[in-house]
Amino acid sequence: MEVLKRIITFGTFDVFHIGHVNILERAKELGAYLVVGVSSDALNISKKGRPPIYNQDDRMKIVESLHCVDEVFLEESLELKGQYIRQYDADILVMGNDWEGKFDCFSNICKVQYFSRTEGISTSKIIKQVALDFS
């Protein structure tokens, strides 16, 4: 009997767009249960030096509302990835290929798979475009 795989992925998912939908749908195709770690506002401020446009509660609610997503949690630290993978009993970690190689260190606890990013779209590109168009 085939064991139903549990998938985990992480992201900010700020100004939610088609690239986010694509990777979440592809991740879900790998298994039966998709858990998504949505990075906290504080983590974003420490990583990017600015808060996200949408706050963490809204970003979690948007991601959780997707048909392909079974569960969301708040990712509070990049250093806790191994702990989250174990806590959510994940068989496969999925990330976009902008993170290629960065999470190979977890291949002893789960399979690590990188998917190519959707071309031509990113949150920072949208923010810049909107700022230009409405300035």
Which chain residues interact with ligand C2G by CB under 6 A? 10-14, 19-20, 23, 39, 75, 78, 95-96, 98, 117-118, 121-123
- Nearest approach, Cβ of 134 to ligand C2G (angstroms)? 22
Of 32 and 102, which has the nearer Cβ to ligand C2G? 102
- Of all residues in the chain, what percent are helix, strand and coil, respectively (each to 5)? 40, 20, 40
The least CB distance from residue 63 to ligand C2G, in Å, is: 10
Distance CA 45, CA 42 (A): 5
Question: What distance lies between CA 126 and its chain's CA centroid?
Answer: 18
**Cβ closer to ligand C2G: 1 or 101?**
101
Kindly provide the residue ranges of all beta strands, DSSP E only, lying in 76-110, ordered along the sequence: 92-96
Minimum distance from residue 51 beta carbon to ligand C2G (Å): 13
Q: Rg for the chain (alpha carbons), in Å?
A: 15
